[in-house]
A and B are shown apart, each in its own frame.
Chain A
Amino acid sequence: MPEKMTAKKEKNKLFHVEKRFDMPLWQSLLIRFGFIVVALFIALLILTISYGVNPFAAVGQMFIGSFGTPKRFWDFFRDGALLLGVGLALIPSFKMKFWNLGGNGQIIVGALVSAILMIDLGGKLPDAVVLLIMIPSSILAGAVWAAIPAIFKALFNTNESLFTLMMNYVSVGLVNAFIMFKYPIGSHIIPRLNNANFPTLFNDSLLIILIVLVLLAFMVYYLKFSKHGYELSVVGESMNTARYVGINVKKVIIRTIVVSGAICGFIGCLLASGVDFTVMPTTGNNMGFTAIIAVWLAKFNPIITAATSFFIVFITRGMTKVQSDNNIMNDATPNLVIGLIYFFIIGCEFFIEYKLLINKGGKEMKITEFIKSLFTSKVDKVKLPPATEGVEEEEVK
């Protein structure tokens, strides 16, 4: 007894959690996929119970909603591309651990500047000239809008998540003020702006999609192969290391956020001149927030962000279709479902990043395999490295 007493330790806790680094990609993808399926299942179950939706038909309707007609097909890819564009804008700032929650605002000021120029110069100057003025101006507007919080972050360490969040509402206010200024009478809605629209290729969507693809290529290059991208990764990973190699941290912070804001501003320009043909307080439809989730789920990888963005758009559009096909007079369905799926994916990250050890009769065992075996029987053969090493010392800290 006296000898074994020491082995008792602090093992009264039921669960014990530790970080893991060793999950293979396919396995983590499988877990994510499993969780998404479960989330969708629950969502459809809710719809079945409350509105009598046929869940099997609903799956078909989701695909029809995204790809059913040529228009839906192109709209799907355009919306996905736009969301991806915003995601690409946010990736550099998040990789630098700068929580840019101000994508919405940066998009809106870009769109606002575009709209102002379309209204004031459109028709007076050739469209091409207006566009040539408009695009850089929107980019500049987005960049400035992002630079303001970045400068304060760099100089005074002002909390960037709260600052950028507030900037969103200031930009909305500016749009409202502008509309009231220009259209004081009537319904206060800007009519469709017909001058200086963004050029099109075959249809409204293709050029935008192509531009975002170019942006994607640029961002892959910027993050992975450029000195700027390298510097911002170092700053994001460790400020100390950045200083150790002489990186000017303040400069990198401001520069990176300016890049973020500039791209958002450009997306705003695309929205105002190529999609909505106007500017509204709701321009961008909260893409600045949605994109945060998209890039976070993609672990800030631009190419995976493409997948997550299109997935989110697929669910949104698909659920809209399910809703209308089943005569649900409730336009909340997409948000409800998407929110539910978010929770499941967010939760499942835990099982990818951490090992959960369960305490059974004083003995700790891994339950990840157990949990996984609930979803699939294939993973039984997955062998995880022994968790015993290091467990002892960590748990008493």
Chain B
Amino acid sequence: MGDFSWVLVGLIDAISLAVIFLFGCIGETINEKAGNLNLGIPGVMCIGAAGGAVGALVYMKTIYKVLPIDIDAISFSFGSLVSYILLMLFVIIFVTIFAGLSGLLFSFLTTSLKANQNVTGLALTTFGAGFADFIMGLIRTTENKPLFTIASKIIRFHLPFNEAALGQAGMLLLGNGLFVYLCFALAIVVFLVLNKTRIGLSVRAIGENPATADAAGINTDKYKYFATMIGCAIAGFGGFFYTMSHVGGTWENSATLQGLGWMVLALVIFTVWNPLLAIVGSVIFGFLMSLPYVIPGIGFVEMELIKILPYAVTIIVLIFTSILGKKNVLPPGSLGVNYFREER
């Protein structure tokens, strides 16, 4: 038997990627469950990243000056706890507003103005990428850059467990920042809301058959708006987590994040529109993504081929679900189609 410790290393790396995927996947799942095939999700994630960065900067320029946090200190004072909570609030509010507004834009164009969803989504991706790069260009001045690094450290802060005591496996479970746990909890919450509540039932009904939902007295437009906005806001956190945690508060350009955003679309199919499966799926995707870098002695070509795996697996899932035609794993019935009541 060989040494498989790299699996653990890969998983630790995978968790960070998985959070990006999972936020995006939950968001897009909500979108698609309400019948919106939102190809703008990569753009939404970029916009979320920009929102998070703005939020962090505002915090650094205001609160942090009053209540600084010494991230290396073992003990946490009350002041730094308040400061920490405020930072979390700041970024959550900013990401929600930025990404939520992009969702509002998408649903305004597709639901109210009946624009084609594919085209609107692609436009949103173009715009979102441009917007994020633009905002980042504005705020990431030389003097501001160190502030993002500090903010990122605080965001990544985890309880000071001792790696020696917990071991690598323990760190894998406990040594993550707050957003990692928030994300996994959110997946469970969204699953429950979608599948166990009245609101979730209405959302799914609209995604399956808006005419029937309409006849049952559900306000389809309202639900579509809210589902898209909430979905996009959640997806936005994927982008935020990418820039403020995964890459430590840096930003080169939106290309990498966009690439991850497209993988999110694959992941939604791979996990057959189920947020619980998405937890597993995002870890698998994250693991596959980090695999090339952790398998010892892997060749470059194999490395690249492994990177194709997530997409290839997704295609296979897509094909199998369509051949089997089992209705509960098929895409929502009216996915990508706008509902216009007066069209019979």
Contact = CB atoms under 8 A, between A and B. Distances in A.
Contact of B305 (A173, A339, A353, A397): A173
A103 to B, nearest CB: 11
Contacts of A168: 262
Q: 10 tightest A-B contacts by CB?
A: A339-B127, A335-B130, A332-B133, A330-B137, A173-B308, A336-B130, A342-B123, A180-B300, A350-B113, A177-B304
B344 interface: yes
A63 interface: no
Contacts of B138: 50, 330
Given A101-B39, A292-B118, A342-B119, 8 more contacts: A17-B342, A158-B322, A161-B336, A330-B137, A330-B138, A332-B129, A347-B115, A395-B342
B128 interface: yes
A296 B119 contact: yes
Q: Is the interface of B mostly helix, strand, loop or mixed?
A: helix
Interface of A: 17-19, 50, 99, 101, 152, 156-159, 161-163, 165-170, 173-174, 176-177, 179-181, 184, 188, 289-290, 292-293, 296, 328-340, 342-343, 346-347, 349-350, 353-354, 394-395, 397
A170 B315 contact: yes
Given A292-B119, A347-B109, A397-B342, A156 B124 contact: no
Interface in B102-130: 105, 108-109, 112-116, 118-120, 122-130
Nearest to B137: A330
A339 B120 CA distance: 10
B322 A159 contact: yes
Given A332-B132, A339-B124, A343-B127, A173 B304 contact: yes
Nearest to B322: A158
B294 interface: no
A165 B131 contact: no
A156 B319 contact: yes
A329 B137 contact: yes
Contact of B311 (A169, A346, A350): A169
B266 interface: yes
**B126, B132, B311, B331, most chain A CB atoms within 10 A:** B126
A395 B118 CA distance: 28
Between B114, B123, B131, the greatest number of chain A beta carbons within 10 A of the residue's beta carbon is seen for B123
Contacts of B307: 173, 176
A342 B315 contact: no
B312 interface: yes
A343 to B, nearest CB: 6
Contacts of A181: 300-301
A343 B318 contact: no
B130 A337 contact: yes
Given A158-B322, A167-B315, A330-B137, A335 B118 contact: no
25 contacts: A17-B114, A99-B118, A156-B319, A156-B325, A158-B323, A163-B315, A169-B308, A173-B307, A177-B308, A180-B301, A330-B133, A330-B134, A332-B130, A332-B133, A335-B129, A335-B130, A338-B127, A339-B126, A339-B128, A339-B129, A346-B115, A346-B116, A346-B120, A347-B109, A395-B342
Interface in B147-161: none
B303 interface: yes
A166 B300 contact: no
